């Protein structure tokens, strides 16, 4: 099975990050999955936003959790468009595109699961988080989701703990630091029954690492698609 191309933050090189426009562009650029970030508003609703503070992407010097969903959705993103709700993001998914939801606010896990189930999108959603409390909600309420623990660890000791924590929480995958991807980690994930994802922060992708992944998170989905297509047509395959 070839690796999934996952468009990081809705293609910020081509569209505003965490935007509806970026979701559509991800599909046009050949992504299999689009990644978004989710936080809760003051009234507990999930919206697409990476940072706790709104200033970087909207210019408003307030936190997401200080405003209601209605107020947040009125804000204009730098580059165009308004801040989407998670429900809008699911509605906007083009046919065949899946969505990886990085739950930044640990308390947003329940709202993400509820909206996913409300729309019947379980087969299209990858539930990701660094927060074990959010992951446990998904494991308990929606075990049919693919659920992954994210952690930016690199040393062998840290990775051992990472794998043990993933198994303890009951997730089905992990997303590791790009430098950690190699035979040792891939074999350990296989033995534990964990899918392996990683984010590559540069356009050049090492083919040997790509071959070990279930999914590659990238700001260059079109280049990643080309790399995958080239690998699949090599004569030695």
Give the DSSP letter of residue 122. G
pLDDT of residue 2: 86
Q: Which residues pair with 125 in a beta bridge?
A: 99
- CA dist 191 and 104 (Å) reads 29
Q: Smallest Cα–Cα separation from 37: which of 122, 113, 108, 124?
A: 108
Domain 4-232, CATH: 3.20.20.190
195: which strand partners? 173
Phi, psi of 97 (to 5 degrees): -95, 130
How much is the pTM? 0.96
Residue boundaries of the structural domains of the chain: 4-232
pLDDT averaged over the chain?
96
pLDDT of residue 93: 98
DSSP conformation letters of 66-118: GS-HHHHHHSBPTTSSBPPBHHHHHHTPPTT-EEEEEE-SGGGHHHHHHHHHH
Kindly state the helix (H) or strand (E) to which residue 140 belongs, with its residue range.
Answer: helix 132-141
Q: What angle do CA 33, 38, 39 make, to 5 degrees?
A: 175
pLDDT the model gives residue 219: 98
The pLDDT tens digits of the residues spanning 93-151 come to 999 999 999 999 999 999 999 999 999 999 999 999 999 999 999 999 999 999 999 99
Contacts of 43 (CB under 8 A, 6+ apart): 68, 69
Give the pair of three-digit tokens for residue 41. Answer: 């508003």
Give me the pLDDT at residue 226, please: 93
- Please say if the pLDDT value at position 79 is more than 80: yes
pLDDT tens, position by position, 11-37: 999 999 999 999 999 999 999 999 999
205 contacts 2 by C-beta, under 8 angstroms: no
Cα 2-104-146 angle, rounded to 5 deg: 35
How many CA atoms lie within 13 Å of 19's alpha carbon, on the beta-carbon side? 20
Q: What is the pLDDT of residues 116-132, one digit of tens each?
A: 999 999 999 999 999 99
Give the 3-state secondary structure of residue 68: coil
Residues 60-87 have a mean pLDDT of 98
Is residue 8 within 8 A of residue 40, CB to CB? The reply is: no
State residue 236's pLDDT score. Answer: 55
DSSP string, 25-59: HHHHTT-SEEEEEEEE-TTS-EEE-SSSBSHHHHS
Task: Check whether 230 has a pLDDT greater than 90.
Answer: no
Indicate the SS3 state at residue 85.
strand
Count of Cβ atoms closer than 10 Å to residue 95 Cβ: 5
């Amino acid at each position: 099975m070839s690796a999934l191309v996952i468009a990081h933050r809705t293609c910020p090189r081509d569209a505003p990050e965490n935007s509806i426009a970026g979701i559509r562009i991800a599909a046009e650029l050949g992504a299999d999955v689009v990644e978004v970030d989710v936080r809760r508003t003051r009234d507990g609703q999930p919206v697409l936003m990476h940072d706790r503070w709104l200033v970087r992407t909207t210019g408003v010097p307030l936190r997401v959790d200080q405003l209601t969903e209605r107020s947040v959705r009125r804000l204009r993103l730098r580059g165009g468009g308004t801040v989407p709700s998670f429900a809008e993001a699911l509605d906007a998914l083009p046919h065949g595109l899946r969505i990886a939801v990085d739950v930044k606010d640990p308390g947003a896990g329940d709202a993400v699961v509820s909206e996913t189930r409300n729309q019947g999108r379980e087969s299209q959603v990858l539930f990701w988080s660094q927060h074990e409390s959010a992951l446990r909600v998904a494991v308990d309420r929606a075990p049919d989701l693919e659920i992954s623990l994210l952690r930016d660890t690199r040393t062998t000791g840290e990775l051992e703990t990472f794998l043990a924590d993933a198994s303890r929480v009951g997730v089905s995958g992990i997303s590791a630091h790009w430098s950690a991807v190699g035979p040792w980690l891939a074999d350990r994930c296989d033995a534990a029954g964990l899918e392996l994802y990683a984010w590559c922060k540069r356009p050049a992708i090492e083919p040997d690492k790509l071959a070990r992944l279930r999914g590659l998170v990238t700001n260059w989905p079109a280049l990643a698609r080309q790399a995958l297509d080239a690998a699949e047509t090599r004569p030695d395959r």
